Structure 1
């Protein structure tokens, strides 16, 4: 069976991606930080499908824990077919209130962790015939959003990392990005905020985690000539001014 590693696999988009990959035949290595219960739920469903599934915990913002996770994954999974760098953090903070601690944690989890985890798992990726790396970016990586300076900067870096690795790791390793728009409203978005966002989405609805998961499966199973691309999953929101 092919193996997929999914970070942030216990909630929201990561959970949907992991389940979708299990459904099409992948064994799972599921990373979480705190959402262990959700990841164990995914693992149980994957095993019911006849897959193997293991949950690994690590704070990706802590270099020591990231390195330990990478070592454990390499030892347990000498071949990795798909790596999905999904884990990330998101917060609304005025620019003047972004401390160095907030900035470094945002960059550490959203940009440095995908960088160094991909680097550490390269031997396992290269040990398979058609490896794929998928990075979860954001449409905000290319469009300014007020009060999210450190977040959008981290995702902009991840977008360019995606393109850089697609060039450098070719021809064997494919690297693509997925940029969700509004996929599942954050819990702190009030009704007025939700309505304002919906008014800017041509398809008239927010996305679902499954909308993103379907694109990951497409890239893994149906798109061997697609690399270096960042696919927006946003209901055409980014297609208009």
Structure 2
């Protein structure tokens, strides 16, 4: 039985990804920080499908917590077939107001945690027959959004980490990414903001977390694909 580790698995894209993997036959190790109750609900659904599920909580902005999480997973899951780095934060702040604390927290969760979790879990990945790492990045990695400078920088770093690890960890470990665009609007977006964004999406609608989950599953099952990032954005990146 294959085993997958998914960060930020309680809500939105992480939840959809965890459930898609459960339906595909993966046993799961699922992480959350604040969304613990939601994570329990995801675990219950996966267990109802006959999957084994291990739940973990950690604040990925804390380097020590990241290291403890990696050590615990190495000890209890000596082989991991798939690692999906989905956890992240997204906030709109004008560049002039981004202080060092905001910047560091953004980079810690969105970029440094995937970097050091993969490093810490490398023994477990190498013990699997055909291991894969997938980063959930963003089309903003290459086409930044206004007033999201620190966020766009973090996702640009994650994009390059995808390519760098594909080179360095191949041929044993494949590393790919999925870049969502307009997928599940943030709750604070008003209708006018939503419509102005959708006007730039060729598909004419927002995506949903299941769209991203299907792309993750595709990459997990493609043995000759590495170093690639699939945009799941309804074509928005074509016209940005």
**Hey, what's the Cα distance between the residues in 1 that align with 2:150 and 2:233?**
21
Report what 1:180 is aligned to.
Answer: 180
**Hey, what's the Cα distance between the residues in 2 that align with 1:55 and 1:205?**
34
For the aligned residue pairs, the C-alpha RMSD in angstroms reads 0.7
Report what 2:198 is aligned to.
Answer: 198
User: Cα deviation per residue 1:9-46 (whole Å; 9 max; x = unaligned)?
Assistant: 00000000000001011000000001011111111111
**Hey, what's the Cα distance between the residues in 2 that align with 1:128 and 1:92?**
39
Consecutive unaligned residues of structure 2, counting only runs of 5 or more, are: none
Report what 2:55 is aligned to.
Answer: 55
Aligned to 1:61, the other structure's residue is in SS state: coil
Aligned to 2:30, the other structure's residue is in SS state: strand
Query: Following TM superposition, by how much is the alpha carbon of 1:146 offset from its aligned partner in structure 2, in angstroms?
Result: 1.2
Q: Which runs of 4+ in 1 moved over 3 A?
A: none
Report what 1:230 is aligned to.
Answer: 229
Report what 1:90 is aligned to.
Answer: 90
Query: Following TM superposition, by how much is the alpha carbon of 1:157 offset from its aligned partner in structure 2, in angstroms?
Result: 0.4
**Hey, what's the Cα distance between the residues in 2 that align with 1:234 and 1:190?**
20
Report what 2:139 is aligned to.
Answer: 139
User: Cα deviation per residue 1:142-199 (whole Å; 9 max; x = unaligned)?
Assistant: 0122100000000000000000000000001000010000100100000000000110
**Hey, what's the Cα distance between the residues in 2 that align with 1:144 and 1:36?**
31
**Hey, what's the Cα distance between the residues in 1 that align with 2:206 and 2:17?**
17
Report what 1:161 is aligned to.
Answer: 161
Please give the TM-score of this superposition, normalised by the length of structure 2: 0.99
**Hey, what's the Cα distance between the residues in 2 that align with 1:220 and 1:98?**
36
Query: Following TM superposition, by how much is the alpha carbon of 1:54 offset from its aligned partner in structure 2, in angstroms?
Result: 1.3
Listed as ranges, the matches of 1:3-82 within 5 Å are 3-82=3-82
Consecutive unaligned residues of structure 1, counting only runs of 5 or more, are: none
Using the TM superposition, name which of 150-159 and 139-148 deviates more: 139-148
* Count of aligned pairs between the two proteins: 240
